[in-house]
Structure 1
Amino acid sequence: MDDLERDLTLQNEENRYKQLFLVTETFYSLLDKDALLREIIVSLEQLYPSFSYYLLLSQDNPIQNELPIMDLEYDSENVAAINSYVSGTIQMEFSLEEKRAILYAPFKGKQGVYGVLQVIASNTLEFPKNEIEFITLFANAAGGALENAQLYQQSRRVISDLQLINETSHRLNSNLRLAETMTYMSEQIKHSFDSQEVGFFLFSHDQVIANVLPGSTPFFSTKQARIYIDFINDKILQEKDSLFIGDLHLPKIYDITRFRSIMAIPMIESENLKGFSIVMHQEPYFFSFEKFKLLQLLIHHSSLALTNSILREELEKMIITDHLTKLHSRNYLDEKIQLSMKHEEEGTFIIIDIDNFKDINDTYGHQVGDEVLIQVANLIKCNIRGNDVGARWGGEELAIYLPKVTLETGVSIAERLVEKVSQCSNPPITVSCGVSYWNKDRLDSYNYLFKRADEALYIAKSTGKNKVVSQRNSIRAS
């Protein structure tokens, strides 16, 4: 080789290494993994237009159908590729029949190997030494850039996860109602985990039955869901630990929707198992292990707030509920009537008195007297709507307030209750009712509303009992 040829060769080599330097700069400027992989392919096309190549990646591959990217499979027959990945060194293959040479260069970073570059050269059985060195440098640059992009994406995920936990914890500690708390949690999990179904369950006091909490997706209120709930319920009680199932097969499932990916996290507060959450998707292996760990953190940080919300509502219920009849307290009834008279058009109030209640206590004892009160209270609950208010008025007197209900309808409800009590009570008893009514067209007060009902009840008691008297009848009688 003369001096001119030597100079041209050195110049070409210098130009190639300058190109490699520019390529490396470009690689390290890209923190999006998809964009980086595209740039690696474009650079290979420019540097080696006559070669074929594949990127064999070990994990978290984006779906790039148009790019020569494949998963690096450990059980494949491509021994040279696996050896290159495991050893972190260049590996070579030669085929006399196909007249080609294949080079495998690992994508190495400081923390590990992220895949292998497969370069296929046709019509040759050997890679020149300088090409091997150049491809090695190229693969090292790509490996370092892949590591940076992956670490950057991991850091973004960690920041996003911490923000999710922080925002959720802050929201849950803002004294939300239980239904609001669970609905917020459900929406957060569906959005962050791309889940199809999210359920929250609270154990009964004997830890036998898991009750569905508000905020769970509607699926968990169906019969189909019971198979999954019972399965998870038993597992959580047995193992007292989280469940991460990639491909669930339950023998009892035939024609119902199959959910294959399951994450279930116990809700533990002060070392006591309170309940659990379930997150599901129909596709197998849908949730990553990182998502599973994030869900564990989220539920762990939320368990105290959820428990506090449940306890707060139980305490509120105790305050506004009569402990014997489980009807509302009189204070609660008073508040509801005052609000109704301030904001609504009309309403009806009923006082119910158990006839001859003293005789019941004297004949059967106070325990039976309590049971009679409970029987009448249960009949009241069965004969009113969800927005009506049944209450313990005092002693053997109970009360009902019917917002937005006319006097005629209120009298009909009272008469039905009188009939039901006489038919269903044991020992046999009767009740008397006084009914009053208000509407916004007439100046009125809730004290006067009670007074009119009490006067009507007095007339019912003094004229034979086991009957209903309304304020209209009482006015006529007086």
Structure 2
Amino acid sequence: MEYQDPQLLASLKSHFFDFLVQEDEQQSIDQLLILMNEKLNLEEVTLFIYNEWKQYYFPKASSNMSINNNLGSYFLSDKIVNEMMEEQENVDDKRTIYTFISKIYRNNKAIGLFEFKYRQLSINKSLLIEVANEGFKLIEKLLEFSKIFEEGKRYEQLFNVTAKFHSTMDMDEVLGEIIDTLRNVYPSFTYYLLLSHDNHNNNGLPIKEFQYDNDDNPAAMQAYVTGEVQFEDLVKEKRSILYAPLKGKQGVYGVLQVIAPNTVIFPHSEVRFIELLANTAGSALENAQLYQQSKRLVADLQLINETSHRLNSNLRLTDTMNFMSDQILQSFGSQEVGFIILENDRFKLLPGSTPFFESEQSELYLKYVDEKIKDEKDTLFIGDISTEPLLNGLRFRSLMAVPMAQSGLIKGVAIVMHEKPYYFSFETFKLLQSLIHHSTLAFSNSMLREELENLVITDHLTKLYSRSYLDSMITKSMATDAFGTFVLIDLDNFKCINDIYGHQIGDEILIQVARILKDNIRDNDIGARWGGEELAIYLPKVDLAAGTAIAKRIVEKVGNHTSPKVTISCGLSHWNQSYQDNAFKLFKRADKALYMAKENGKNQVVVQEESIV
């Protein structure tokens, strides 16, 4: 068959415009190849696009539907193509299918080829070359239109995702939208969000912790520091990596890492889109972070205001410290809280401290904090205390310590700890500082108020309770308890002590006897100064036999442990709910028993008479 080349070529080209106006690029290319196949009376025609990096021709479309349905498994190397082009066709056999390769060049570089398959030897190869060139021009236009169309779709996606960014103030939602957009636009790429450890995300997003001190990824660090897109081309691994900073107006909030496989140069056409996406996301992250910060600041101010209001409501010291401890445990998620007063180089634990600070294990922490604060006279914010050689291996690793200072003097310290390293954020640390600074005055006022109360109910010389406090506590005990014992004590021959040694020594003797009393009674028992050289003890819920034993033990201790040596006489009375009684009668019976002890030779204990009237 002879071809009228100009007419055939013109006929083909007349159909080309029809393909340009179709929306589906792949369908247009498929129809073009089918048309070429029919008009040129071919067995098959296949279009290949050249991949410069891999140096392979990959099939784009074919008039053979079996190939069209399995394009990914059929490709040609440069070497095979050159060998096919050099083959001599010298077999005249109607059953033989011949192949003709027509390469397409731009700027002396191969960009694609047509593979024509036919049976007749007399085919016009010049026409095939002309058709291939004209066809590829059309295909380039189709690909260009398709690229423009896809670009439009991408930027439409960017517009939509921007709208979503600005409709939410949740950082996790913003990060999720970034990943979803990349998955839709670049399904073959791999991507990660490099963020600081302050981002606690649990949504399964590809987030990596940004390592500021890691030299293994200088491109990521450069992108973070400069705010400019950086590239890393890995020839051996045959991939290129783009690092786009997530930046807003006030700073950079992370880095978007995008990995393009099978290329050593990141596709230039994709850089601008990814950069715009990263910038848009950075602005959204900034807005979300500022919103979260504002919410946190409002919550912090509310916490400080509530705490200050509560602390200034004249709470007892125990109530004050327990309230502060609860606030810190709940607001900061801490595991241990300690309030320590430093007195004469000794640690005094305040109420509200968690039980850990009563254990021996706390001593290492307390000594470390004490030394640090004395040296630096400042707050401590330690992300991982195990870096200190002497504290390596300890249970708690995150530590915050804020001095409780008033008028420039450090009176104590508040310590907050957690097992996990770097658990507390810097914002948490600043909030703790503010809380403690606002609360220190309330702590001091509570302590001073209780000290004043103790002065009112405490005898200045002996540090025993006052007579009035003893009276009130006995009256209270008689109203609530089942029984109790009262001991009235008098120092024997105390006037002689004053005459011989002087009143100063006499006062010292009183102090010694008072100390013996306190050492031999329980915390809830009441030792008091009755008046002059007379002292008293009230033992709530203690029966007569036990009270007598305690009194005798005190008489013995005083005789053996005072200097100059003195003795005491004790009169002991008892009450229980089985009969009508009151404090006045209790005192009268003890006073009568004391008189009998004096009359009977002193340095002894006399118990009230059995009959109570």
* Matching of residues 45-60 of structure 1 within 5 Å: 45-58=183-196, 60=198
Residue 98 to residue 362, structure 1, CA distance change in 2 (3 Å):
closer
For 1:133, what is the secondary structure of its paired residue? helix
For 1:347, the aligned partner's letter is G
Residue 384 of structure 1: which of 498, 518, 521 is its match?
521
Structure 1 gaps, min length 5: none
Deviation at 1:335, TM superposition (A): 0.5
For 1:117, the aligned partner's letter is L
For 1:36, the aligned partner's letter is V
Residue 245 to residue 428, structure 1, CA distance change in 2 (3 Å):
same
Residue 426 of structure 1: which of 546, 550, 563 is its match?
563
What is the match of residue 351 of structure 1?
Answer: 488
8 Å Cα contact 2:191-2:206 kept in structure 1: yes
Residue 136 to residue 402, structure 1, CA distance change in 2 (3 Å):
same
Residue 172 of structure 1: which of 311, 321, 326 is its match?
311
CA distance in 1 between counterparts of 2:584 and 2:382 reads 61
For 2:485, the aligned partner's letter is T
Deviation at 1:50, TM superposition (A): 2.4
Deviation at 1:379, TM superposition (A): 1.6
For 1:144, the aligned partner's letter is S
Structure 2 gaps, min length 5: 1-15, 22-141
CA distance in 1 between counterparts of 2:418 and 2:276 reads 43
For 1:19, what is the secondary structure of its paired residue? helix
Q: Any idea what the Cα deviations from partners look like across 1:10-37, whole Å, max 9, x if unmatched?
A: 5544443332222222222232222322
CA distance in 2 between counterparts of 1:92 and 1:398 reads 88
Please tell me the root mean square deviation across aligned C-alpha atoms, in Å.
Answer: 2.6
Larger Rg: 2
Residue 171 of structure 2: which of 22, 33, 49 is its match?
33
8 Å Cα contact 1:31-1:148 kept in structure 2: yes
CA distance in 2 between counterparts of 1:67 and 1:349 reads 74
For 2:451, what is the secondary structure of its paired residue? helix
Task: Note if 1:439 corresponds to 2:576.
Answer: yes
CA distance in 2 between counterparts of 1:406 and 1:308 reads 40
CA distance in 1 between counterparts of 2:158 and 2:468 reads 82
CA distance in 2 between counterparts of 1:424 and 1:347 reads 28
Residue 128 to residue 232, structure 1, CA distance change in 2 (3 Å):
closer
CA distance in 2 between counterparts of 1:292 and 1:265 reads 9
What is the match of residue 18 of structure 1?
Answer: 156
Task: Note if 1:117 corresponds to 2:249.
Answer: no
What is the match of residue 216 of structure 1?
Answer: 353
8 Å Cα contact 2:551-2:605 kept in structure 1: yes
For 2:609, what is the secondary structure of its paired residue? helix
For 1:135, the aligned partner's letter is I
CA distance in 2 between counterparts of 1:245 and 1:120 reads 36
Deviation at 1:373, TM superposition (A): 1.3
Deviation at 1:392, TM superposition (A): 0.1
* Matching of residues 76-115 of structure 1 within 5 Å: 76-95=215-234, 97-115=236-254
* Matching of residues 46-445 of structure 1 within 5 Å: 46-58=184-196, 60-64=198-202, 66-74=204-212, 75-95=214-234, 97-124=236-263, 130-204=269-343, 207-248=344-385, 249-252=387-390, 257-445=394-582
CA distance in 2 between counterparts of 1:238 and 1:118 reads 44
Q: Any idea what the Cα deviations from partners look like across 1:357-381, whole Å, max 9, x if unmatched?
A: 1111112211221122122211211
For 2:412, what is the secondary structure of its paired residue? strand
Residue 95 to residue 239, structure 1, CA distance change in 2 (3 Å):
closer
8 Å Cα contact 1:34-1:62 kept in structure 2: no
For 1:197, the aligned partner's letter is E
- The alignment's TM-score, normalised by the length of structure 1, stands at 0.90
What is the match of residue 454 of structure 1?
Answer: 591
8 Å Cα contact 1:59-1:114 kept in structure 2: no
For 1:209, the aligned partner's letter is R
For 2:425, the aligned partner's letter is S
8 Å Cα contact 2:178-2:277 kept in structure 1: no
For 1:375, the aligned partner's letter is Q
8 Å Cα contact 1:434-1:457 kept in structure 2: yes
Aligned length in residues: 473
For 2:413, what is the secondary structure of its paired residue? strand
Residue 101 to residue 380, structure 1, CA distance change in 2 (3 Å):
closer
Deviation at 1:309, TM superposition (A): 0.9
CA distance in 2 between counterparts of 1:357 and 1:215 reads 45
Deviation at 1:328, TM superposition (A): 0.3
Where relative contact order (Cα < 8 A, 6+ residues apart) is larger, the structure is 1
Residue 250 to residue 106, structure 1, CA distance change in 2 (3 Å):
closer
Q: Any idea what the Cα deviations from partners look like across 1:57-76, whole Å, max 9, x if unmatched?
A: 35623345843222344444
Q: Any idea what the Cα deviations from partners look like across 1:93-147, whole Å, max 9, x if unmatched?
A: 4455555443333222122222222323334556665533322222222112111
Residue 95 to residue 314, structure 1, CA distance change in 2 (3 Å):
closer
Deviation at 1:226, TM superposition (A): 2.0
For 1:20, the aligned partner's letter is L
For 1:246, the aligned partner's letter is G
For 1:361, the aligned partner's letter is N
Q: Any idea what the Cα deviations from partners look like across 1:328-383, whole Å, max 9, x if unmatched?
A: 00010011011111122111111111111111111221122112212221121122
CA distance in 2 between counterparts of 1:245 and 1:102 reads 36
- The alignment's TM-score, normalised by the length of structure 2, stands at 0.71
Identity between Structure 1 and Structure 2 (%): 59
For 1:284, what is the secondary structure of its paired residue? coil
CA distance in 2 between counterparts of 1:410 and 1:456 reads 14
8 Å Cα contact 1:322-1:392 kept in structure 2: yes
8 Å Cα contact 1:321-1:329 kept in structure 2: yes
